[in-house]
Amino acid sequence: MKNHIAFFRQFRSRFETTGAVAPSSRFLAKAMTSYLRDRRTDQPVRVLEIGPGTGPVTDSIVRLLRPGDVFDLVELNEEFVRILKERFATESAWKAVVQQSTIHQMPIQDYQPSAPYDFVISGLPLNNFPADLVQVISDAYFRLLKQGGILSYFEYMYVRPVRKKVTRGADRDRIVRIDEILSERCRQCRIRRDNVWLNIPPAWVQHLQKT
């Protein structure tokens, strides 16, 4: 409950980078981590979570990590970073993988890891960002993926189609451009889309593969 309260406070003060009134549901977290759960290799993997917030999806990831896996988290919001560090220090499932996990407080476009990732899982509210930034972030997703790696991200159902209908002027232009960027990525690379109705609001989870 305290994490829900903290999330709502950040939503009120930083809507443009928080983007939701409540953390992701466990059903959304399960969909976001489905390819990690069903990994097809016995070798250690590298996992990157972008925009973990208070950690609802992180909680699913830490329970799927195996010995030797590497887990990096990139989060810009300092309050969310504090909460994540507290969870790694106090919750048993998180403590079990703390030596494999590193939190980086920075914008994802500035993140330069030592090696690319098998799985990139993103909770960034892309519809809230300037279109040019969405392009930069989309490019960063694929820069950070290994060849054959999987990107999973979510978006709230029908937000862009509705906003294209009801907004005007510069904001409509922004939404149209974001839709073009993400639709083209999905056209080129999408391997599956999951519908998650049990979330506030309901969401699509897009799974894309770098080929």
Q: pLDDT (tens digit, 9 = 90+) per residue, 30-76?
A: 999 999 999 999 999 999 999 999 999 999 999 999 999 999 999 99
Report the C-alpha gap between 102 and 97 in whole angstroms: 10
Q: How many separate domains does the chain show? A: 1
CATH of the domain at 136: 3.40.50.150
Maximum Cα–Cα distance for the chain, whole Å?
52
Range of the structural domain that residue 134 is part of: 2-209
The type of residue at 12 is: R
- The Cα angle at residue 167 between residues 163 and 169, in degrees rounded to 5: 135
Q: Is 0.85 surpassed by the pTM of this model?
A: yes
Least-confidence region, from 64-68, 166-170, 184-188: 166-170
